[in-house]
Chain A
């Protein structure tokens, strides 16, 4: 799974950005976004802000869970009391890069199975077998959702949920812990009288802390 984490202030400007990969199941912590996905990620994030703005009045929780998904790209959100948004985009096994090695126990696991095309309409990897069924699941969101669930349950199940399965409760909980930790570090940064909740967070210590949180939980 590759992650793109972003802190968005109330003026919808990003104040902090980070790309990282999973560290669970032998992941090396390096994001594997294709160049196209890397360019698209900020747009997807931006599009999901509307959901956050709607949701914030219906729930008083800070963690809003998974709020949006576009094909296989999922976005989770956390809302601080002052409406600063933490957004985490997670993409399991981007299509045209080498995926994280699957668990050994799985025999039916196919790395290119449901993940052939993250963004319908743009073809990343023409050589990958984009079957008719795969493209249809990519366009209809509900069926693609079940497809992901079924594929990852066959892939390993159990504790192997986080890297492969963006909709599982384990992933949700891991992301919640990640956000909670980031919230603490973010709070320390905005308490500084020299910065503020609107300014860019440029501190390398802050970045290191977020990276560490990502390595610990995701």
Chain B
């Protein structure tokens, strides 16, 4: 269940230790190329202000391109959203990560995955110190996704978190008007498709990043009031539920 299980690679640890000669590193600065303003990424501030928001038009344009990039290269809707199955994925986001890279981030879900994985530490870094804790249980994690995560991406919190009444490991986060779908018109024959699969990928990245392995998918849940309502179904791994039970029992 833990990431160390069966994955220890001592030879590699040793190899890296011996190959890391300090002389090679000290020689590097001469070869280092910096941008004209002499600022490397390490000189930039991680705290962006509210004014640094993206224009919606440029996002809509880029997202449209992403959808068509994915559409050109896949065979069906399921494939377009994402359906990968990695049998030995354990608890390891690094394997999904490697999978996404190997697939050239082909599907919408895969395009979102690395983003979620990166947003997780960044957003926690920006939180005030008191709340800057790792969400290592299901509920704090869902609250993190519902709150800071959604607020960062869309400027508001998500509309609801629900726990499935039938399956213990299923949670749903719903958004009445997903921003990503606003400028996407899905053809009639593809009405199963929901391009918010991109956001589902991000959520999955966040969940996996915390070590709570989950599969996340986006579903159309349109109502009369909210025709574009999207439900993100988060299906946690059996192991995660089992661990939650154990941790609760210990308390």
- Nearest-CB residue, chain A, relative to B95: A11
Q: With a CB–CB cut-off of 8 A, which chain A residues contact B210?
A: 81-83
Q: Contact: A9 with B94, CB < 8 Å?
A: yes
Q: Contact: A81 with B209, CB < 8 Å?
A: yes
| B132: interface (CB < 8 Å) | yes
How many angstroms from the CA of A161 to the CA of B125 in the assembled complex? 29
Q: Contact: A12 with B25, CB < 8 Å?
A: no
How many whole Å from A188's CB to the nearest CB in chain B? 5
Fill in one digit per residue for B8-24: 1 if any A CB lies within 8 Å of its CB, else 0: 11101110110010000
How many angstroms from the CA of A83 to the CA of B28 in the assembled complex? 29
How many angstroms from the CA of A80 to the CA of B209 in the assembled complex? 10
How many angstroms from the CA of A117 to the CA of B42 in the assembled complex? 40
Binds A, one of B133-141, B163-171, B186-194: B133-141
- Residue in contact with B9 in the complex, picked from A11, A183, A188, CB distance below 8 Å: A11
Binds B, one of A50-58, A128-136, A164-172: A50-58
| A163: interface (CB < 8 Å) | no
How many angstroms from the CA of A17 to the CA of B26 in the assembled complex? 14
| A185: interface (CB < 8 Å) | yes
Q: Contact: A53 with B16, CB < 8 Å?
A: no
| B225: interface (CB < 8 Å) | no
How many angstroms from the CA of A205 to the CA of B31 in the assembled complex? 12
Count CB-based A-B contacts (< 8 Å).
Answer: 125
How many whole Å from A161's CB to the nearest CB in chain B? 23
A54 and B2 in contact, given A190-B121, A191-B122 (Cβ under 8 angstroms) = yes
Binds B, one of A97-105, A141-149, A196-204: A196-204
Q: With a CB–CB cut-off of 8 A, which chain B residues contact A79?
A: 134
Fill in one digit per residue for A158-189: 1 if any B CB lies within 8 Å of its CB, else 0: 00000000000000000000000001110111
Fill in one digit per residue for B74-100: 1 if any A CB lies within 8 Å of its CB, else 0: 000000000000000000111001100
| A34: interface (CB < 8 Å) | no
Q: With a CB–CB cut-off of 8 A, which chain B residues contact A13?
A: 9, 12-13, 16
Q: Contact: B136 with A57, CB < 8 Å?
A: yes
Q: Contact: B133 with A80, CB < 8 Å?
A: no
- Residue in contact with B17 in the complex, picked from A14, A49, A60, A209, CB distance below 8 Å: A14
Q: Contact: B134 with A62, CB < 8 Å?
A: yes
| A106: interface (CB < 8 Å) | no
**Known contacts A11-B94, A60-B137, A191-B46; can you find 11 more A-B pairs with CB under 8 A?**
A10-B3, A11-B9, A13-B16, A46-B13, A61-B134, A187-B121, A188-B41, A189-B42, A197-B97, A198-B98, A205-B32
- Using a CB–CB distance below 8 Å, which chain A residues touch chain B? 9-14, 17, 42-43, 45-46, 49-50, 53-54, 56-58, 60-62, 79-83, 183-185, 187-192, 196-198, 200, 202-207, 209
- Using a CB–CB distance below 8 Å, which chain B residues touch chain A? 2-4, 7-10, 12-14, 16-17, 20, 25-26, 28-29, 32, 40-42, 44, 46, 92-94, 97-98, 114, 117-118, 120-122, 124-125, 132-137, 140, 209-211, 243, 247
- Closest 5 A-B residue pairs measured CB to CB? A53-B2, A60-B133, A82-B209, A204-B28, A53-B4
